[in-house]
Amino acid sequence: MRILEIKEIVRKDVPIYYRRFFSGIVAIEFLEMVVERRIDFFIETMPTGQKEIIVTIAEPIDYPLVPLIKALKATIDTLDANGELPL
């Protein structure tokens, strides 16, 4: 399994300043197929400065969720660190 990209990322307005909410479409490659699913995720900055990333896959997928969510969190963290998420 490999995360190819997260595209069409849209930031949604949230009245809480330390929480950023996004939605997008993830392209996942597994078993030599490419599957796209809609996802929602938010990044919350804790009082200690640490970031917590919560991911929700909006559509069912026939793949174990634990490694998929772990890979998505790592990809989202990289996008955020590189400044590639919408402001």
Give the tens place of pLDDT for each residue, 15-66. Answer: 988 999 999 999 999 988 999 999 999 999 999 999 999 999 999 998 899 9
Mean pLDDT to the nearest integer, 67-79: 96
What are 81's two structure tokens?
Answer: 């660190």
Tell me: pLDDT of 87 over 90.
Answer: no
- Which pLDDT score is estimated for 22? 97
Q: Domain map of the chain by residue range?
A: 2-81
Mean pLDDT to the nearest integer, 3-24: 94
